[in-house]
Amino acid sequence: MHPNQLLGNAGCGYKEPPKDPADLKTVIQDVLNAEACAIEYYSKMCEKYRTTDLVTHEIFEDLLKDEVDDEEEWEKFLAKS
What are the boundaries of each domain within the chain?
20-80
pTM score, whole prediction: 0.84
Residue spans of the chain under pLDDT 50: none
Cα separation, 67 vs 44, in Å, equals: 14
Cα separation, 74 vs 66, in Å, equals: 12
CB proximity list for 56: less than 8 A, separation 6 or greater: 45, 49
CB proximity list for 7: less than 8 A, separation 6 or greater: 13, 14
Identify the pLDDT of residue 1.
62
Cα separation, 21 vs 4, in Å, equals: 26
Identify the pLDDT of residue 36.
97
